[in-house]
Amino acid sequence: MNADAADATPAAAGTGADPARPEGAGTGRLVLLTTSHRVAPGLLSWPAWQTLRAADRVLCADPDHPQLPYLREAGIAMETAAPTARELVDYCSPVASTAREVPPSDARTAVVLTSAEGESALTDGLARLAGSGRESMPDLELLPGSYDLPGARLLDLVQVMDQIRAECPWSSIRTHRDLAKYGIEEAYELVEAIEEGDREALREELGDVLLQVVFHARIAQDDPDEPFSVDDVAGTLVEKLLHRHPHVFGDELAETPEDVKAHWLRTKAEEKQRDSVTEGIPLAQPGLALAAKLASRVRTAGLDVPLPSGAGIGYELLSLAVRAESEGVDPEAALRAAARAYRDAVVTAEGSAG
């Protein structure tokens, strides 16, 4: 159902120039029942089921509405029809518009199961009738039978990715290796949006990073030997988060960020069972970040490892990166900030020269 129409209809039903227009008990009831396509069909709220069972008529214009088989299975008599606002009003309140009240025995309840596209023609017609002030209107109600929970749009993303993978000539043949470079690029663009403080760009770049996750998971689903889906990815992540947050989901206590970090490192060490603190550090990451990560692992483990001696800028940069990490500075971020300042200076110089 169109959201604007849904907002306008109840308001219109409560207005009108004729104060004698009958309302309330005895005037019939017209219910527009909305459902979310992101919720499994048949999973409706209790008020929705109560209303459906008590209704005199239940109508739906879409013969392929996913709810129909489940409603029929539950014994709800469904009509595939698209009546006009006039027809529904006359059905629910079958009296002349001049009447003061509809006898309770004549008042009826009709439920319209709305389609995914909404019922704009119907809601617009009801708004016109209610706004005229000359109609004996039934009580108009918008009833959510099911609604989206937080994260529901992720289901749309998975569905869209499924269709793209199946029908797009380019996407249908991509491999994990094909997409690897894009994962790196999108991660850098996300970092740039964060450092620039650009909220609009941040939202977009987060979506681009999420696309990489969903795309890779969809490719993995097609693997003939070891397939897994986005649900498997999410399930593994949920298990990891639950295990690494015993202070949230278990009985352990953590009152400070330092306590949380200690929990995290301890559970991570138990999971990985590494022989070296260097295991799991990707050597392909940028050099300054790699040096800082190694230094962080060494410091956390309480090891005393002298820096290797050698001539050249590489060893000097290593020393600077280790020093930055010990002072709580991200050397990569610091260098990027300095490089941006250098870029601005270049642009200024170019402007002056021009």
Residues 202-249 pLDDT 10s = 999 999 999 999 999 999 999 999 999 999 999 999 999 998 888 899
For 343, the token pair is 């870029």
C-alpha–C-alpha distance, residues 62 and 117, integer Å: 10
C-alpha–C-alpha distance, residues 198 and 144, integer Å: 36
252 is a domain residue:
no
7 is a domain residue:
no
Which whole-number Å values give the CA distances from 46 to 43, 60, 143, in the listed order? 9, 20, 11
Which of the listed residues 244, 273, 296 is the one where a domain comes to its end? 244
User: How many Å is the maximal CA-CA distance in the chain?
Assistant: 100
CATH classification at residue 129: 3.40.1010
Short-list 294, 37, 20, CA closest to 146: 37
274 is a domain residue:
no
For residue 93, the enclosing domain spans 29-144
Residue 22: predicted pLDDT: 40
C-alpha–C-alpha distance, residues 113 and 166, integer Å: 32
Short-list 347, 292, 284, CA closest to 319: 292
Which of helix, strand or coil describes residue 161? helix
Domain count of the fold of the chain: 3
Query: Does residue 279 contact residue 269 with C-beta atoms inside 8 Å?
Result: no
Residues 203, 131 share a domain = no
C-alpha–C-alpha distance, residues 104 and 25, integer Å: 7
C-alpha–C-alpha distance, residues 331 and 324, integer Å: 6
Residues 183, 120 share a domain = no
97 is a domain residue:
yes
Which of the listed residues 144, 167, 199 is the one where a domain comes to its end? 144
Name the percent of the chain lying above pLDDT 90.
65
Phi, psi of 336, rounded to the nearest 5 degrees: -60, -40
52 is a domain residue:
yes
C-alpha–C-alpha distance, residues 78 and 55, integer Å: 11
Which whole-number Å values give the CA distances from 124 to 110, 118, 128, 229, in the listed order? 17, 11, 6, 43
Residue 3 has pLDDT above 50, yes or no: no
Residues 135, 156 share a domain = no
Mean pLDDT, rounded, for 292-302: 90
The model's pTM: 0.68
Beta bridge partners of 110: 30, 57
Which of the listed residues 94, 123, 144 is the one where a domain comes to its end? 144
Which of helix, strand or coil describes residue 249? helix
Q: What is the CA radius of gyration of the chain?
A: 31
Residues 129, 174 share a domain = no
9 is a domain residue:
no
Q: Poorest-confidence range of 24-28, 74-78, 87-91, 320-324?
A: 24-28
Residue 128 has pLDDT above 50, yes or no: yes
Residue 140: predicted pLDDT: 94
Residue 105: predicted pLDDT: 57
Query: Does residue 38 contact residue 158 with C-beta atoms inside 8 Å?
Result: no
C-alpha–C-alpha distance, residues 131 and 134, integer Å: 8
Interacting residues of 123 by C-beta distance below 8 A, sequence separation 6+: 1, 2, 5, 6, 8, 9, 32
